[in-house]
Chains A and B, each alone.
Chain A
C-alpha cells in the first residue's frame, strides 16, 4: 500500500539554525501537505502543495513538491523556540480528497535557546 517515508525522525538544533526535513514515497501524490502538531493538539496545516515543482513559502517555512511527485521537503529558516513540535508530511490516499490522508511518521523538532 501507499507509504510516506519521512526523515529525519528527530532533530535537535540550536535556535537560529535552519532545518530541513523530507518525505518520499514509492507512489505518486497529487498533493503534498505539511502539518505541525504541538503536544496534545491536533495537526495544523503549514503548507499545501498542488503542482509538481511548486515551491511555496509561509513566513520562515518553505516547501517544495518534487518534480517526480514522489517527494517533498520542508525547510524552516532561522528556527525559534516555538518551532518545537512534530512535523508531518501527508498526502491524499489514492489521489482522493484531503479527508482521507496518509501521514508520514513525523519529524520531532527540538530547539535549544
Chain B
C-alpha cells in the first residue's frame, strides 16, 4: 500500500551547519510532494513543495530534491538556526489535498 516514510527519526545539528532530512515514498504514481514543519503544540506549516516535473526547487534557505528513480526526496536547510528546531514531515499530495504524511523527523539544533 501507499506509504511515505523517513530514514531518520531524529537529527541533531550544530547551529550554522546545513541540515538534510530524507524521505522515501512507495507510490511511483505520486507526482506532488510537500514538506511541512511542525513546532511543538502547533499545526503543520507549509515549507516548500515540488512536482514531479522538477528535480530541484529552492526557497529561502531551503531546497527540496526529488529523485523519481529511487522514489526519494530530501529537504535541505542551509545555515540551520535554533528556530528551525521542529518536526519535519514530507507528504504526498497525490489525492487532492488528502495528504499522506510520513512519520516525521525531529530536528534539534545545538547552539
- A and B, one complex? no
> Footprint of B on A, CB under 8 Å?
none
Interface residues of B (CB under 8 A from A): none
